[in-house]
Structure 1
């Protein structure tokens, strides 16, 4: 593999990065899959990917890996919710951005989020806003995809839905942009491989916006019984997160992130549209949970 051929993919075994990696391989590109657990990368290795075990908190080691390719997909992994997520994710984002500087890349693709903005302890919204700008400081052509509310946030709901209700912090009738991580991966792979002038911020969401009433209706249709929505009051949010295993600091950050998001979702006029709709995702989710 020569530098002129290779694309570097961070988080290559995750929900988004795995789709980026497999799409690039399918399209004939050579990739270096950056992972922290080689055992999880066996499938990618069998498809022809090179595997690099790298600590994303080590900018020198990561820079050396980035120098093996000409373009890179950059994803800041989530910190364990049992820790101070804001602090942990900020450290990793800073390290990745530092590694990009001096790596000699011709283009990067940055995975970010709807609502990215400066702020104090507002989770991904501020962490990824700062990440966008830190990577941009390297003066490398950068495509930035801001993804809508992940369908994977619904993965904890099937057991509740089987009991006849689901809980959320969002008003039941509020329509919000949602997207499947697989669609985010496809969009990222396309922009990573696109011409050098395809840069700047684009928004990525699913076929349409959905409300939690519609989430409940999808579960009801698939499970064959009524499913209602219970919206948790703001005063209960942090306790709810902590009951689910979040640290106190993580619970505060996630509650603040939800609060800021509710104050005004990005509603771009021309987003990149994914193909996976809500019902299809929930149908697959229910089958997988039943099989598990």
Structure 2
């Protein structure tokens, strides 16, 4: 039985679909039963649990062959870092209590760094916390998700200006379509790592990004081809980041974490960890994601 947290999300649902396509038994964990209809149609067992409810999580993990976990990002929370750490600690405790033998955690590029990475620091905490478990561990470190561009490309499509936190606009950076993580994760779940987080060789580290890297100028050109008008990438001045992010719906606390993360990006600190693990690639191009995002608005 494969237990998948965040099963209604883009990455989680894609993992579920890949596992079910191969006939695996899947227990999909959701917070809202009303959103589970599609998962039931795929043949999943459904468990309802809030990620901050240790008893419900332990029940969801009982009897699991393996579990995929992800920490949701509370972008409207006053103190998102504390909330993410609290969720991670609760999930880790439930995994230990249920003695889940194999765990895959969807992590983040830069999670090996212990300071100065903003929101990614929560994923560092997750990796440290899970490494204490007596389980076969895999950390699937994901590049930033292409779907996170949804707000900014909608504005750029109307104005012809693509404002960027990635500086300079000629720098290439890694990114991946979130559903592309699903097949990668499913393959890793069904081939557990040899070591453990306590006594063995240590967690298996896998980095995941798309078929190629892009510059902001590449992104603007792709968007321009879709909307049929020129789109130009422009560096958003650092002094405007917080206000812009807050106008986009982020809490001041989360906007500060995102700003710190992009400072680290622009300093060249957020990348696949050199000499560690392996790289697996998704297949979806950025232009295909942009087209889908715009058509769904």
Q: TM-score, normalised by structure 1?
A: 0.92
Q: Is the 8 A contact 1:82 1:245 kept in 2?
A: no
Alignment pair present for 1:174 and 2:171:
yes
The 1-side partners of 2:116 and 2:155 are apart by 34
Count of residues in Structure 1 that have an aligned counterpart in Structure 2: 283
Q: Is the 8 A contact 2:114 2:121 kept in 1?
A: yes
Q: Which runs of 5+ in 1 are unaligned?
A: 1-5
- Aligned equivalent of 2:74: 79
- 1:261: Cα distance to partner? 2.2
Q: Is the 8 A contact 1:32 1:52 kept in 2?
A: yes
> Secondary structure of 1:8's match?
strand
- 1:54: Cα distance to partner? 0.2
1:255 is aligned, of 253, 256, 259, to 259
Instruction: Pick closer, same or farther for the CA change 1:147–1:44 going to 2, 3 Å.
Output: same
Q: TM-score, normalised by structure 2?
A: 0.90
Which structure 2 residues correspond to residues 236-251 of structure 1 after superposition, within 5 A?
Answer: 236-251=240-255
The 1-side partners of 2:127 and 2:290 are apart by 31
Alignment pair present for 1:266 and 2:271:
yes
- Aligned equivalent of 1:126: 121
Q: Is the 8 A contact 1:176 1:210 kept in 2?
A: yes
> Secondary structure of 2:261's match?
helix
Q: Is the 8 A contact 1:142 1:200 kept in 2?
A: yes
Q: Is the 8 A contact 1:66 1:105 kept in 2?
A: yes
- 1:86: Cα distance to partner? 1.1
The 2-side partners of 1:64 and 1:247 are apart by 33
Alignment pair present for 1:188 and 2:196:
no
Root-mean-square deviation (Å): 1.7
Q: Which runs of 5+ in 2 are unaligned?
A: 196-202
